[in-house]
Structure 1
Amino acid sequence: MITLYGIKACDTCRKARKALDAKGVDYRFHDLRDDGLDAERLGAWLARLPLGTLLNRRSTTWRQLDDAEKEDIDTARAHALMLAHPTLIKRPLLDTGNDLRVGYRNGDFDDLTP
């Protein structure tokens, strides 16, 4: 089962959901705020994706962190921060079971089939 991770209020997540719906792709939406995020899943993502791909340094949450929390960020510290603040994860994140895709632009899901 394909899972789309994101936040309901995120415009980009809404666009991604619309694109999946329009293509008739069967997927489950997992809201990172409402449904939470477990440490094991986040660790698996960090093992497969570069930190710079997964950590959203342009988010409001990132800007609101203390400078000390943002300094010398490594995978372990980023893991702890993203668990505490799931909005630090770039979104949407699409997990096809074989592939992880971060972000969405029109046409990104054209290769997916229902």
Structure 2
Amino acid sequence: MELYGLKNCDTCRKALKALQNAGNEVVLRDVRAEGMADTLRDRALAEFGDKLLNTRSTTWRGLSEEERAKAPEVLLAEHPALMKRPLIVVGDNLYLGWDKTVQGALLQED
């Protein structure tokens, strides 16, 4: 199981701790430090669309209107912190965020 996010993100830390406490082997991939494979980013964009962009982040608020108009894949490549977090990869499945639905799905799996 891989968790893509930021090591300083509270939500990512909560997700990581809960998943590890449930007995899962989880690797945190800091998208700011390590980046993300283009194939994974493209797959996540295909599955989640614009929901993958965190338009409530301070990074988003710091962008100009011209920058915000760029395609999501370009924005995420240039500003990895714009990704909604966490993006969790379990086998062939992708999960975005850490809401009750994602928690229910992942914390019941063994």
Q: Scaled by the length of structure 1, what TM-score is found?
A: 0.85
Q: Give the whole-Å Cα distance in 1 for the aligned partners of 2:109 and 2:4.
A: 16
- 1:93-108 aligned at under 5 Å gives the runs 93-105=87-99, 108=103
Cα offsets for 1:24-56 (capped at 9, x unmatched): 1012211101111232221121122222x2110
Q: Give the whole-Å Cα distance in 2 for the aligned partners of 1:110 and 1:40.
A: 26
**Structure 1 position 100, deviation (Å):** 1.0
Q: Give the whole-Å Cα distance in 2 for the aligned partners of 1:57 and 1:90.
A: 8
Q: Scaled by the length of structure 2, what TM-score is found?
A: 0.88
Percentage of pairs with the same residue: 39
- Ranges of 4+ aligned residues in structure 1 off by more than 4 Å: none
Name the structure with the higher helix share: 2
Query: 1:110 maps to what in 2?
Result: 107
Residue identity in the other structure for 2:84? K
More contact order relative to length (CA 8 Å, sep ≥ 6): 1
Q: Residue 68 in 1 paired to residue 66 in 2?
A: yes
Query: 1:47 maps to what in 2?
Result: 46
Query: 1:24 maps to what in 2?
Result: 23
Q: Give the whole-Å Cα distance in 2 for the aligned partners of 1:66 and 1:50.
A: 21
Tell me how large the CA RMSD over aligned residues is. Answer: 1.6
Q: Give the whole-Å Cα distance in 2 for the aligned partners of 1:27 and 1:102.
A: 15
Residue identity in the other structure for 1:81? L
Q: Quick check: 19-28 or 4-13, which moved more?
A: 19-28
Query: 2:81 maps to what in 1?
Result: 87
Count of aligned pairs between the two proteins: 107
Ranges in structure 2 where 5+ consecutive residues have no aligned partner: none
Ranges in structure 1 where 5+ consecutive residues have no aligned partner: none
Residues 4 and 95 in structure 1, CA contact (< 8 A), matched pair in contact too: yes
